Amino acid sequence: MTSQSHTTVVVKEDEANVINSLSKFIEECAEKAVKDHGKFYLGVSGGSLAKFLTKGLPSISTDWSKWLIFFCDERHVDFKNEDSTYKLYKESLLTKVDLKDEQIIKINPELSVDEAATEYVQQMKAIFTECDWPTFDLLLLGMGPDGHTCSLFPNHPLLSEDSVWVAPIKDSPKPPPCRITMTFPVINRAQHSAFAACGEGKAEMLKRVLEGDEQPPLPAAMVKSATVHWFVDKSAANLLTKFS
Ligand X SMILES: O=C(O)[C@H](O)[C@@H](O)[C@H](O)[C@H](O)COP(=O)(O)O
- The site for ligand X (CB under 6 A) is made up of 45-49, 73, 85, 142-144, 148-150, 174
Q: How far is the CB of 2 from ligand X (least distance, A)?
A: 26
Closest CA to 165 of 137, 123, 219, 225: 123
Find the helix or strand (DSSP H, E) in which 67 lies.
strand 67-71
In 163-238, which ranges are E strands? 166-169, 179-182, 192-197, 227-233
Angle at alpha carbon of residue 57, lines to 56 and 61, rounded to 5°:
120
Q: How far is the CB of 65 from ligand X (least distance, A)?
A: 26
Q: Which is nearer to ligand X, 29 or 194 (CB)?
A: 194
Q: Which is nearer to ligand X, 73 or 137 (CB)?
A: 73
User: Three-state secondary structure along 12-61?
Assistant: ECCHHHHHHHHHHHHHHHHHHHHHHHCCEEEEECCHHHHHHHHHHHHHCC
Q: Which is nearer to ligand X, 99 or 198 (CB)?
A: 198
Residue type, 112: S
Q: How far is the CB of 4 from ligand X (least distance, A)?
A: 25
- Answer for the pair 121, 166: CB distance below 8 angstroms, yes or no: yes
Query: Torsion-angle region of residue 50: left (phi > 0), alpha (psi -120 to 50) or beta?
Result: alpha
Q: Which is nearer to ligand X, 62 or 149 (CB)?
A: 149
Q: Which is nearer to ligand X, 32 or 173 (CB)?
A: 173
Q: How far is the CB of 118 from ligand X (least distance, A)?
A: 20
Cα–Cα separations (whole angstroms), residue 145 to 93, 118, 122, 125: 26, 29, 32, 33
Q: Which is nearer to ligand X, 107 or 124 (CB)?
A: 107
Q: How far apart are CA 194 and CA 142, in angstroms?
A: 8
Q: Which residue is nearest to ligand X (CB)?
A: 142
Q: How far is the CB of 242 from ligand X (least distance, A)?
A: 22
Q: How far is the CB of 36 from ligand X (least distance, A)?
A: 27
Residue type, 67: W
Q: Which is nearer to ligand X, 34 or 217 (CB)?
A: 217
